[in-house]
A and B are shown apart, each in its own frame.
Chain A
Amino acid sequence: MAEVNATDGWEPKIIAIVCNWCTYAGADLAGISRIQYPPNVRIVRLPCTGRINPFYVMKALQEGADGVLVSGCHPGECHYLTGNYHARRKFAMLKRYLSYVGLEEDRANFTWCSASEGERFAKVIKGVTEKVRALGPAKKFVKTL
Chain B
Amino acid sequence: MENVEKKIREEAKKLLADKKVDVVVGYERGTLPLTATPVFITEPDDADKLVYDATCVQNLAKYVHDILSAHKEAQKKVKPEDRKKKVVGVVARGCATRSIVIHLQERQYGREDVVILGVPCNGYIDPKKMGIALAGEEALDGSIAGDSITVKTSAGDKKFSLNDVLADNCLTCRFNNPVISDIMAGENAPAKAADKEYEKVEAFEKLSTDERWAYFTKEMSKCIRCYACRNACPSCYCKICFVEQTMPQFVGLSADQTDTQIFQLLRTFHMVGRCVDCGSCISVCPMGVDLRNFLKKLDKDALELFENRAGAKMEDVPPLSTYKEHDWEEFIYNP
Contacts and interface: CB of A to CB of B under 8 A. Distances in A.
Contact of B301 (A97, A101, A109): A97
Contacts of A89: 305-306, 319-320, 323, 327
Interface stretch (A23-31, A39-47, A123-131): A123-131
20 contacts: A55-B250, A62-B261, A62-B262, A75-B325, A75-B329, A86-B321, A88-B329, A92-B328, A95-B331, A97-B265, A97-B298, A97-B301, A100-B212, A101-B213, A104-B209, A111-B333, A124-B333, A127-B335, A140-B213, A143-B258
B332 interface: yes
Interface of chain A: mostly helix, strand, loop or mixed:
helix
A36 B204 CA distance: 42
Contacts of A62: 258, 261-262
A114 B302 CA distance: 28
Interface string A39-76: 00000000000000011001100100000010000011
B205 interface: yes
Interface string B50-84: 00000000000000000000000000000000000
Given A76-B325, A97-B301, 13 more contacts: A55-B250, A59-B248, A91-B331, A93-B302, A96-B297, A96-B301, A97-B298, A100-B204, A102-B212, A102-B213, A102-B216, A141-B258, A141-B262
B323 A82 contact: yes
B252 interface: yes
A123 B335 contact: yes
Interface residues of B, number: 48
Contact of B331 (A75, A104, A110, A141): A110
Contacts of A124: 333, 335
B323 A86 contact: yes
B198 interface: no
A99 B335 contact: no
Interface residues of A, number: 44
A120 B333 contact: no
B195 to A, nearest CB: 21
Contacts of A85: 323-325, 327
B11 interface: no
- Residue of A86, A97, A100 most packed against chain B (CB within 10 A): A100
Interface in B225-256: 242, 248, 250, 252, 254-256
A89 B216 CA distance: 24
A101 B212 CA distance: 6
Contacts of B269: 54-55, 58, 93-94, 97
